[in-house]
Amino acid sequence: MNDPLPFRPAAKGTQPLHDTPAYGSTSKRHPNAPLLAFAHTLTETTGPRFAPAHFPALADLSVARGKSALGERIIVAGRVMDEDGRAVPNTMVEIWQANAAGRYDHPNDQHDAPLDPHFHGEGRVFTDAEGRYRFTTIKPGAYPWRNHPNAWRPNHIHFSLFGTGFAQRLITQMYFPGDPLLERDPIFLAIPERAARERLIARFDLGLTEPEWALGYRFDFVLRGRGATPMENT
């Protein structure tokens, strides 16, 4: 039997460390023992199959209960590729986010900002044959959290992606260009390499922007590639 091609390890500095003291919630939740490395098997190189009929698309978050949500309407779109330059088609992309006032429609969110009866904040689509996805939503507001004095999360949209193998599972956050909170955010700053961090910032895209309707932001994803670690330029 041919062994499945393993996924490559992450490039140095591109993934956050489990133990990140500036983000207080990591202190009792990060493992102390070294992580166990092993060669990927079918369990890691294969992944979920979601029949689209069972997982209906929710591509427009900007309308709920028949009316438009408050806030700045935006289009968020992009492409899911892997490190080998291959498109990742037909893969589930989930998003969730706060409303324009910086409040989640979630019982644990007690931020003193208004809920919007016409915004819930959940989206789900599958990429097309070229790996493309697209949502219409509302630009989320910043909100305070209690990590440190006067701590505020930058505007962000949460993303969940699956890819073709379980070892490609990706949970991340998309940020917005020009946000002054980014350089003060320990979650964003937990990624050691600046270039990797900056790839989490969407790009304003006039081509995606729909006249008289919504601003466009492009946000592309790269999932892990397969095979041996390529030689790095040093």
Which residue out of 153, 197, 224, 226 is catalytically annotated?
153
CB 76 within 8 A of CB 202: yes
Which residue out of 143, 175, 197, 217 is catalytically annotated?
143
Least separation in angstroms between residue 222's CB and another protein is 5
Using alpha carbons, select from 74, 64, 69 the residue that is nearest to residue 135: 74
103 annotated active-site: no
Return the biggest CA–CA distance within the chain. 59
143 annotated active-site: yes
- 162 vs 217 by CB, closer to another protein: 162
Least separation in angstroms between residue 209's CB and another protein is 23
Least separation in angstroms between residue 24's CB and another protein is 8
CB 166 within 8 A of CB 85: no
DSSP assignment, residue 44? H
18 annotated active-site: no
C-alpha to C-alpha distance for 108 and 123, rounded to whole angstroms: 20
DSSP calls for 99-134: -TTS--SSTT---SS---TT---EEEEE--TTSEEE
Least separation in angstroms between residue 23's CB and another protein is 7
**For residue 183, what is the enclosing H or E element?**
none
- 109 vs 128 by CB, closer to another protein: 109
- 11 vs 209 by CB, closer to another protein: 11
Q: Write down the residue that tokens 């040093």 correspond to.
A: 234
49 annotated active-site: no
Per-residue burial over 135-169, b if 16 or more Cβ lie within 10 Å, else e, is: bbbbbbbbbeeeeeeeebbbbbbbbebbbbbbbbe
Which residue out of 73, 103, 124, 156 is catalytically annotated?
156
Least separation in angstroms between residue 195's CB and another protein is 8
- 113 vs 223 by CB, closer to another protein: 223
226 annotated active-site: no
- 17 vs 57 by CB, closer to another protein: 17
Catalytic residues: 104, 143, 153, 156, 158
